Amino acid sequence: MKCNYKIKNIDCVNCAKKIEDYLNKDANISNASINYSTLNISYVTNIENSINYVNKKIKEIEPDTYIYDKETKEENYFYDYLNLVLGFILATIGIFIEMPYYINYILIIIGFILLLKRSATLAFKLIVKSHQIDENFLIVISSIGAFLINEKFEGLMVITLYEFGKILESKAINKTRKNVSALAKIKEDYANLKVNNTYKKVLSESVKVGDTIIIKKGERVPLDGIITNGITYIDNSSLTGESKLVSLTIGDKVLSGSINKGDIIKVKVDTPYSDSTVNKILNLVENASENKAKTETFVTKYAKYYTAIVLVLAVLVGIFLPVITNYTYSDSIYKALTFLVISCPCAIAISVPLSYFSSLGFASSKGILIKGSNYLDGIKDIDTIVFDKTGTLTKGIFHISKINILDNKYKEEDILRLFKIGETYSNHPIAVSLVKEINIDVSDCKIKDYKEVSGLGIEYKLDKQTIKIGNAKHVNSKEKEDNTVIYISVDENIIGSIVIEDTLKSEAPEVITKLNNMGINTKMFTGDNLEVAKDISSKLGIKDYKYNMLPNDKYNELTKILKKKSNNKLVAFVGDGINDSPVIALSDIGFSMGGVGNDSAIEASDIVITNDNLKSLLTAIKISKKTNIIIKENVTFAILTKITILILSVIGIASMWQAVFADVGVTIITIFNTLRLLKGRYYEKNK
């Protein structure tokens, strides 16, 4: 079974990676994954109540780290600030105010101890437990080294600015976590359960399928179900990103996480709490870190080696610089210490995963659920998008475009009446759409022997007459098979036909035009005939289309496209997530449209567009490209700044002050640059 918990006292990305690797080596645990940005941990195990077992394993390498299943209070930085301020004041007094030398040294040492306490403790634990070093060790060595070569104030500023930067860094990351964790608020913990003739407030997870609950005005829907009483307006914005209220009545489906904005309604629960829509969405967001982008994986994998290499290079600088230059050993040690400070990998190690996490959170707030940073990263490389037609490019809501009279004994109203009488009993999407369109009362009609013939149509008896409604084969017509024509026969005599037409989504032409302008190849697969496919594609501007396709035809054709693609380009398929599940799963990146509450959509696809709006494709592409830009900006800025100050340090221009900026300053700047990904207006720039 899969377990999800929160994790406490993780200090860096490397620590998270180390725990992941250690847990995955255990025979009782698999697929362990830690999201440093959200402090979530997930793993698969057969152990009941595994939290104690996993905590025992974690403490073998990280004694202060543990997992838990309840939220804790927001981080309190009071003692961090107290140590920082008190340590800085005491050390500064000891350095600049003349007193007996032993008092000066005592004040300086106490000040350094207070300032170095956190970093030294973390560095020492890591060395003892894992025989590894990290940036905390580099900073501690640099500060103590500066003190020993009589650069006390610079050593003081290194550790002061570093600790202050870590506090700002932690607050910035917590801000990101808070923004994304706001999604959890869409889950309602309690439900008003009907018990006999009264209603009792109970935990949502205790409600069973078949139970009846009531949702009052302003309340959030706790579980998925069918409205059995009442008419209301529902706010689905937390699920789909769309602010427009949806009108619902008896028989309509209502989804957990939405808000009742109208009158009180009664709902019959049809889905267990664990499988509810809101739980699916939250699980997708929380577990997105399991599928990490190559960039993110590279950073977490090699950061520990980078730190060790930096330390070796610093030692070499300290030892051999006086040999090849006129510098003294005091100068070379100073430059080696400066090199240690400059080379800390914080900016890259933190900003890269934080960038992906911020974008995943923003996308989910817009109704775009992306299953991992690898898919988010891949969207920008999409070269070809293949669209399903019905329910994707079109609304999947059919209407009557023409009525053909084939027997003069009947009028249009007679044909529509017979059609509605029979199709009222059908759950087929086309039948449901057309029945709503026909404004004829058939409530007093009594039929017998109603049956549906799979793949053909329906049949029923009315006043001793046998009525058949369906395709040409079903009514024995000699006409060419056409999915857009529905025939009606009475006692084997074809009396007429109805020509139906699907409706294009209003945003479809604009989306296809923009994709074409971006250089993305657009294609369409449809089971409809040539005429329908040609008409739809011409209206949208899609030049490449395939028609009369069965599911296996779509699969085989997409396989051919994948074989011909460029190595660095990806092929996406966009479908409704039900009939198109095989091709969605086959594509490099599969999109499901209108996937809220749809098990097939969430299982098969890599990205679920919950609001059923094609413009979300453009938004997803924009988010992917903007995320890539931010990551490149952060990495480029960090590397160039560090190299520049390193060179200036070697030639004697830069000191530890600039080195601190190259580490702490760059880290803070890259974090705040990354936080732009949480702001909607950032994506509106340079459209």
> pLDDT tens digit string along 41-55?
889 999 988 999 999
Domain end residue (candidates: 36, 68, 100): 68
Residue 529 lies in a domain: no
Domain end residue (candidates: 42, 68, 94): 68
> How many angstroms separate the CA atoms of 146 and 112, rounded?
12
Active site residues: 388
Tell me the HSE value of 266 on the side-chain side, using a 13 A CA sphere.
Answer: 11
Residue 438 lies in a domain: yes
- Residue 296 — pLDDT band, cuts 50, 70, 90? low
> How many angstroms separate the CA atoms of 57 and 439, rounded?
68
**Are the C-beta atoms of 392 and 593 separated by less than 8 Å?**
yes
For residue 413, the domain's CATH number is 3.40.1110.10
What's the whole-model pTM score?
Answer: 0.70
> How many angstroms separate the CA atoms of 663 and 334, rounded?
16
Q: Report pLDDT digits (tens) over 526-562.
A: 887 788 889 899 999 998 999 888 778 888 999 999 9
Range of the domain at 11: 2-68
Q: Report pLDDT digits (tens) over 225-274.
A: 999 999 999 887 777 656 668 888 898 889 888 899 988 999 999 989 88
> How many angstroms separate the CA atoms of 510 and 627, rounded?
24
Q: Which residues contact 244 (CB under 8 A, 6 or more apart)?
A: none
Q: Which residues contact 11 (CB under 8 A, 6 or more apart)?
A: 122, 136
- Residue 685 — pLDDT band, cuts 50, 70, 90? low
Over residues 435-448, the mean pLDDT reads 86
The string of DSSP letters for 424-465 reads TT---HHHHHHHHH-----TT---EEEEEETTTEEEEEETTE
Closest CA to 240 of 536, 531, 598, 568: 598
**Are the C-beta atoms of 529 and 484 separated by less than 8 Å?**
yes
In the prediction, which pLDDT does 13 show?
Answer: 65
In the prediction, which pLDDT does 625 show?
Answer: 94
Residue 433 lies in a domain: yes
> How many angstroms separate the CA atoms of 113 and 133, rounded?
20
Residue 412 lies in a domain: yes
Residue 353 lies in a domain: no
SS (H, E, C) 222-254: CCCEEEEECCEEEECHHHHCCCCCEEECCCCEE
- Six-digit token pair at 85? 């301020």
Neighbours of 286 (CB within 10 A): 18
For residue 51, the domain's CATH number is 3.30.70.100
Domain end residue (candidates: 68, 85, 116): 68
Tell me how many domains the chain contains.
Answer: 2
In the prediction, which pLDDT does 142 show?
Answer: 81
Residue 20 lies in a domain: yes
pLDDT at position 390 over 50: yes
Instruction: Please give the mean pLDDT across all residues of the chain.
Output: 84
> How many angstroms separate the CA atoms of 33 and 67, rounded?
13
Residue 126 lies in a domain: no
Nearest 10 degrees: CA dihedral of 608, 687, 514, 361? Answer: 0
pLDDT at position 205 over 80: yes
Across 563-573, b (16+ Cβ under 10 Å) vs e yields: eeeeeeebbbb
pLDDT at position 388 over 80: yes
Task: Tell me how far apart the 2 most distant CA atoms of the chain are, in Å.
Answer: 119
Task: Report how far Cα 532 is from the mean position of its chain's Cα atoms.
Answer: 36
Higher-confidence residue of 606 and 511: namely 511
In the prediction, which pLDDT does 384 show?
Answer: 96
**Are the C-beta atoms of 17 and 300 separated by less than 8 Å?**
yes
Residue 636 lies in a domain: no
Q: Determine what percent of the chain falls in helix, strand and coil, rounding each to the nearest 5.
A: 50, 20, 30
- Six-digit token pair at 88? 């800085």
**Are the C-beta atoms of 365 and 183 separated by less than 8 Å?**
yes
> How many angstroms separate the CA atoms of 105 and 516, rounded?
71
pLDDT at position 589 over 50: yes
Q: Which residues contact 93 (CB under 8 A, 6 or more apart)?
A: 107
Neighbours of 136 (CB within 10 A): 24
